Structure 1
Amino acid sequence: MRDYLIVFAVLVLHAVSVRVAPEIGMALSYFFFGAFGVAAGVAAVHRGLTSGRRVDARWLAMALTMALWLCGVALSARQSYVLDNANPAPGDSMFFYIIYVVPALVALSSSPVAARKRWALGIDLVLASMLATLFYVRVFTLVTMEGAAGRPEAEAIAAMLDFENIFLAVIAIVRLLASERQREASFYRAASIFFVSYTVVVGYYNHFVALGDYPDFGSSWDILLDIPFAAWLLAARRGEGHGRVRWRPPVFLVRFVQSGSPVFMAMSVLALGLMVMRHHPGLGVAACAAAVLGIGLRSTLTQVSLVEVESRLTARQATLEGLAYRDGLTELANRRALDATLLTEWHRTVERNEPVALLMIDIDFFKQFNDRYGHVEGDECLRRVASALAGRIGRGEDFLARYGGEEFALVAPSTTLAGAHQLAHALREAVQSMGIRNEGSPYGMVTVSIGVAVGVESPEAGPLSLLQAADNALYRAKASGRNAVASAA
């Protein structure tokens, strides 16, 4: 509330002072214009530096907008006091009053998708430079450095100001309506307040005051020009929490506006290029080409960036999926991957008209191994057994996994019971041939017991039935003295 009272008091002071001292009314108005412009710019810089963990360039761009407007004020004062020029539209000040929109347009048309890309900033700066050039040519096509030659030229300048201010007000409102975060809403709310009020106030002032009965500064009407900057100052000084999104915009609207916002800059260049084409056809054609190429290049590079991001996400997802299906100790597939593979191969038995075999493999006397040699050696034993089993598998379609603890499982598609027994004996011999010492075993070395089951899909049986059968077979192999192979009854 205090800020509102201070700003209101300064506005009243401006109005009263020019009434009380009309002989220096122009100087007083220039002073208040400068004070409000500086205060608005400082507030924008402060918000840009303190509104988040990173510097928010949008607020700094608006500070530059305020600075350019202040240049216009300074040049107007120069025309009035140094050159004694009473023309309502001197070319130098009009140029800055018009070009002030360029930094604001860059801020309002920035896309968060490419906001941190150097190429996006480069394209924006090229288009902004082209826009500034077009403004310069357009302004000095209508007026000279001393001012407008007549009322039609002055009205054309006023109409140009109306067009750009309305354009910026509409953009600011659109960006506000599509804001989904507090930080965005705070900036676009302040920008909307400023440009809407500036459009209304400056439009009325230009057409009915400057081009009416009060062509010079120094009347109480000058207070109107303070209002947009006072509104911006109050909006910028409000905390970021006050910029909270009051409604939840549809996701489609948010993405549509964010993706299409760079078009605003290109549209400005294109429109102004068409305006100057009559008197400067070469420049007009170059501006139109720059607008088309700029938006096309930006869209292409944005698409390339999105493809790169998608590729990285796909690779990361593949890595994570690999980790999710991989046993960290043995580097074999884990139980989750085994279940998925067994289910797939079970359903393919009908298609292939061939059975699938499941081998359950258990390291004999592994508890005694751990108790005698420790868990570090136990882990190394698991890794060596896994390596031996994987090295003995001859077919690429056979799937070996760590089932859990000291148990392993092997899914062998298109394998008969005889073939599964042959494979099981080969695996048992491969582990025994490593000769890993185990004094807790009657064999004196690490051995494995293997249970074998074979089955096909049927209404009476499923993959869990095959798993149970292989587990029962493993129990029979262990009951027979271990270091053996057994099949389901």
Structure 2
Amino acid sequence: MKLVIAAMVILAVHAIALAVTPAGGMAVSYGFFFAAAVAAMSSTVLAWYRSGTPRDNRWWLLLGSLMLWTVGMSLSARQNYVLDNSNPAPGDSMFFYILYVLPVLVAVSSAPVAARKRWALAIDLVLAALLGVLFYVRTFSIVSVEGAIGPQQAVDVAHMLDFENVCLAVAALLRFLATDRADDHYFFRAVMAFFVCYAASGYFYNHYVALGGHPDFGDSPWDALLDVPFLALCVATLSRKPQRHWHPPVYLIRFVQSASPTFLAMSVLGFGLMVIPGYPSLGITGAIAAVIGIGLRGTLAQVDLVEEEFRLSRSRDELEGLVFVDSLTGLANRRALDERLLREWHRPGQREPIALLMIDVDFFKEYNDRYGHLAGDDCLRALASTMASRGLRVGDFLARFGGEEFAVVAPGTRLVEAMALAEDLRAQVQAQGIAHPRSPFGVLTITIGVAAVQPSAASGPLELLNSADRALYRAKHNGRNRIGAPSDARLENSLRTG
């Protein structure tokens, strides 16, 4: 509030000074204009410094626009004081008053941070350079360096200024309303405050003061109006970073952010059409360049989008792979085992039983106590490699169940076949001959519980898991290094070697 009051006091002082000293009014106005411009530029640099880390370099584009405007004002003062030219629209200053929007127009046309690419910046710079040429041609097709030839030319210049000021004010307002980041909100609040005020005060001053009987600075207290945009910019930048009091719909945010890169191209198209009557080749070139710029940006953005979708898809697949993989052994984990059991259980046309082998490493705690946990991890990896490469058939699914337990899902396998597969696995592990002094067998061995169940709608995979777990418990109770089945007494005696 203090900043607003200070700005109002400055405006009042300017207006009063013009009313009190009409003879020196022109000098007073130039002094206030330059002071306001310098204050606005200083506050912009401060805003860049306050923008955080990394700094928001778009503030330098706004600073560039203010500097170009100041050059235009300097040329206007030169026309008045050095050349003694009282024409309301001298060509050199008018060109800079039009050109000053280019840097900030590039900022307003910028894509969101995540979508800013060097190729997009290159396209924007080419379009900005072409727009500068169109500004030059359009300006000097209406006025000369000395100024407008007649009242109509001065009105044409005013309309051109109105067109660019209103377009930029609307674009800045849209960007401000559709921001979803604090830095964007802070930057576009300042840009919107300046250009909305500039469009309103510039329109009133140009049409009702400069072209309404007061062509020179200092003729009317209304000259203080031109301080307003610069003071508004100071207030917007020097105030603390704004808090969002409303949150626009996500669709609106994305729509404005996606459409913003077209602002610059549409400006090129608009001014290209303006110069076609006098310079058809240049105007058509500008229009074609605008269309190509929009199309090229859209195409390259689509390429980036496809590449990003591919990268995300690949990352998602990799993450899904990590979710279903045991990090120690590289085998499938418990979650993957549950998924596989469900898929096999509910496979259409399933007529064969599903076998499950529950595998436990014998006396593994003693192995860890003797050799340490790192050696235990190496042991588990060696066991996983042995079972995966030597003992399984095509279609069998091996997973680490947890700790020192493993499991094998064997679709389409009856109990007798599953017992034979389990015995083959047990023999392969024992044949490895991994020393285990604290085991009664002298080497590392495994015990396997086997179960086979015919899938049905009335049961589920949990029945198979419980059955195999009971079989494993029974085999361990009977002495380990053996194969166990849940209820078959003949097979309960198990196969055992060594």
Query: How high is the TM-score relative to the length of structure 1?
Result: 0.96
**CA shift for structure 1 position 114:** 5.5
Deviations 1:189-228 (A, max 9, x none): 2222222221111111111111121111113221111111
Deviations 1:319-350 (A, max 9, x none): 222222111211111111111111111112x5
Match of 1:223 in 2: 224
Contact 1:179–1:245 (CA under 8 A) maintained in structure 2:
no
Contact 1:108–1:172 (CA under 8 A) maintained in structure 2:
yes
Match of 2:378 in 1: 380
Show the 5 A alignment for 1:68-83.
68-83=68-83
**CA shift for structure 1 position 33:** 0.6
Match of 1:249 in 2: 248
Match of 2:366 in 1: 368
Distance in 1 (alpha carbons) for counterparts of 2:177 and 2:273: 30
Match of 2:188 in 1: 188
Structure 1 segments unaligned to the other structure (5+ residues): none
Distance in 1 (alpha carbons) for counterparts of 2:475 and 2:115: 66
Distance in 1 (alpha carbons) for counterparts of 2:92 and 2:391: 85
Structure 2 segments unaligned to the other structure (5+ residues): 488-498
Shifted more, 127-136 versus 451-460: the winner is 451-460
Contact 1:180–1:245 (CA under 8 A) maintained in structure 2:
no
Match of 1:436 in 2: 434
Alignment length (residue pairs):
486
Match of 1:323 in 2: 322
Contact 1:190–1:232 (CA under 8 A) maintained in structure 2:
yes
**CA shift for structure 1 position 163:** 1.0
AA paired with 1:419?
A: E
AA paired with 2:175?
A: R
Match of 2:425 in 1: 427
Distance 1:298 1:393, change over 3 A: farther
AA paired with 2:277?
A: R
Distance 1:133 1:190, change over 3 A: same
Once superposed, which parts of structure 1, at least 4 consecutive aligned residues long, lie more than 6 Å away?
none
Shifted more, 177-186 versus 251-260: the winner is 177-186
Match of 2:461 in 1: 463
Match of 2:341 in 1: 342
Query: How high is the TM-score relative to the length of structure 2?
Result: 0.94
Match of 1:284 in 2: 283
SS in 1 for 2:432: coil
AA paired with 1:363?
A: V
**CA shift for structure 1 position 21:** 2.7
Distance in 2 (alpha carbons) for counterparts of 1:480 and 1:401: 25
Deviations 1:430-459 (A, max 9, x none): 100110111222211111111111122213
Distance 1:326 1:245, change over 3 A: same
Deviations 1:416-442 (A, max 9, x none): 223212211111111001101112222
The one of 372, 381, 387 equivalent to 1:389 is 387
AA paired with 2:224?
A: I
Match of 1:29 in 2: 29
1:12 paired with 2:46, answer no
Distance 1:13 1:167, change over 3 A: same
AA paired with 1:401?
A: A
Deviations 1:258-286 (A, max 9, x none): 11111111111111111111111111111
**CA shift for structure 1 position 85:** 0.9
Distance in 2 (alpha carbons) for counterparts of 1:66 and 1:2: 24
Distance in 2 (alpha carbons) for counterparts of 1:309 and 1:17: 60
Distance in 2 (alpha carbons) for counterparts of 1:389 and 1:470: 18
Contact 2:350–2:455 (CA under 8 A) maintained in structure 1:
no
Distance in 1 (alpha carbons) for counterparts of 2:366 and 2:12: 94
Percent of residue pairs bearing the same amino acid type: 55
SS in 2 for 1:212: coil
Shifted more, 389-398 versus 23-32: the winner is 389-398
SS in 1 for 2:246: coil
Distance in 2 (alpha carbons) for counterparts of 1:3 and 1:487: 86
SS in 1 for 2:467: helix
Match of 2:237 in 1: 236
